[in-house]
Amino acid sequence: MAIDLLNVRFHYPQQPNHEVLNIPLWTLPVGEQVFIHGPSGGGKSTLLSVLSGLLIPDEGQVSIFGQRLDQMPNRRRNQFRANHIGYVFQQFNLIPYLNALDNIQLASRFAQRKKAPVLLGDIKKLLTDLNISASDWHKPARALSIGQQQRVAIARALINKPELLIADEPTSSLDPFNKEAFMALLMSMVSENGISLVFVSHDLSLSHYFNRVESLNVINRCGDSP
Ligand SMILES: Nc1ncnc2c1ncn2[C@@H]1O[C@H](COP(=O)(O)OP(=O)(O)O)[C@@H](O)[C@H]1O
Ligand SMILES: [Mg+2]
């Protein structure tokens, strides 16, 4: 399994009476893509933080490719995340004054799985595959269009060849044209590379890109209490 959750419960320390997650059982087979929808405040981003080991649940087991994230020491968990998990955020979180190449290179520094460092050639190939022309590689991220920034964010998430990709409402600031282009590109990159994908959004119009579509309210017993 890419993901195996068992009896996962989580609340934020500041809100002891508000449990955000209570997930008895949830799995994602390797190479499968799932769309999880749910309203704002329903716990989607919290779930993704638990899956990537940024948050540790109060109870329960979080296994990613058979490894127990909830039992790993911090340093190993951070290394595991850098080596195996790619993340595309709602806001793209590019460093605005760095160009596309440097933004991607920065992400590749955190991972150590490859013996050789990620080569500039790998980054250029990825940017070319993602339809970002060479004339835009050296512009600071803030000078790129929203659609280009989002494609650089995909490149950054994929440069370390993650087996699991996590996407948190990545289309929310894209116009309809860029949204469709982004989704088509993301889904083709993911299926070409056999990447397992967890994609969350409140936007149900995206569900047709996925064979597996689930409501967070069904996965999560806390789903009804915002
Ligand atoms: N860092 C945080 N500290 C305290 N409460 C939080 C934090 N992040 C989210 N929450 C609360 O947890 C619940 C779920 O939020 P979130 O996971 O961001 O939902 P979604 O991504 O579906 O909009 C909300 O009630 C939210 O207010
Ligand atoms: Mg969110």
- Quick one: pLDDT band at residue 122, thresholds 50, 70, 90? confident
**Average pLDDT estimate for 66-94:** 91
Does residue 164 fall inside a structural domain?
A: yes
Out of 8, 9, 11, 12, mutate this one to test ligand 1's pocket (max ligand atoms within 8 Å of CB): namely 12
Q: Is the pLDDT of residue 44 over 80?
A: yes
**CATH code for the domain of 194:** 3.40.50.300
User: What proportion of the chain, given as a percentage, has pLDDT over 90?
Assistant: 68
Does residue 46 fall inside a structural domain?
A: yes
Q: Tally the domains of the chain.
A: 1
Torsion, Cα of 22, 24, 30, 36 (10° steps): -50
| Ligand that lies nearest to the alpha carbon of residue 91, given by its number in the listed order | 2
pLDDT at position 41 is 93
**Average pLDDT estimate for 4-32:** 96
CA of 27 to the centre of ligand 1 (A): 22
User: What proportion of the chain, given as a percentage, has pLDDT over 70?
Assistant: 93
**Average pLDDT estimate for 167-176:** 88
- Quick one: pLDDT band at residue 65, thresholds 50, 70, 90? very high
CA of 92 to the centre of ligand 2 (A): 13
Q: Is 154 helix (H, G, I), strand (E, B) or coil?
A: helix
Q: Three-state SS across 174-226?
A: CCHHHHHHHHHHHHHHHHHCCCEEEEEECCHHHHHHCCEEEEHHHHCCCCCCC
> What's the whole-model pTM score?
0.91
pLDDT at position 139 is 96
Q: Is the pLDDT of residue 116 over 70?
A: no
Does residue 136 fall inside a structural domain?
A: yes
- Quick one: pLDDT band at residue 226, thresholds 50, 70, 90? very low
Highest mean pLDDT among 63-72, 98-107, 163-172: 63-72
Strands 19-28 and 3-11: antiparallel
- Quick one: pLDDT band at residue 174, thresholds 50, 70, 90? confident
pLDDT at position 105 is 87
**Average pLDDT estimate for 101-117:** 71
Structural domain containing residue 178 = 32-55+71-219
Cβ proximity of 155 and 166 under 8 Å: no
Does residue 2 fall inside a structural domain?
A: no
List ligand 1's pocket residues with C-beta within 6 A.
12, 14-15, 20, 38, 40-46, 226
- Quick one: pLDDT band at residue 49, thresholds 50, 70, 90? very high
CA of 121 to the centre of ligand 2 (A): 34
**Whose Cα sits closest to atom 7 in ligand 1?**
12
Q: Which atom of ligand 1 is nearest to the CA of 226?
A: 25
pLDDT at position 181 is 85
CA of 96 to the centre of ligand 1 (A): 26
* 197 DSSP β-pair partners: 33, 165
Nearest to residue 70, comparing CAs of 19, 8, 13, 15? 8
170 token code pair? 């990545």
- How many angstroms separate the Cα of 190 from the Cα of each of 4, 20, 26, 159, 162? 20, 29, 21, 13, 10
Per-residue model confidence as pLDDT tens digits over 182-212: 899 899 989 999 999 999 999 999 999 999 9
131 token code pair? 């339809």
pLDDT at position 113 is 54
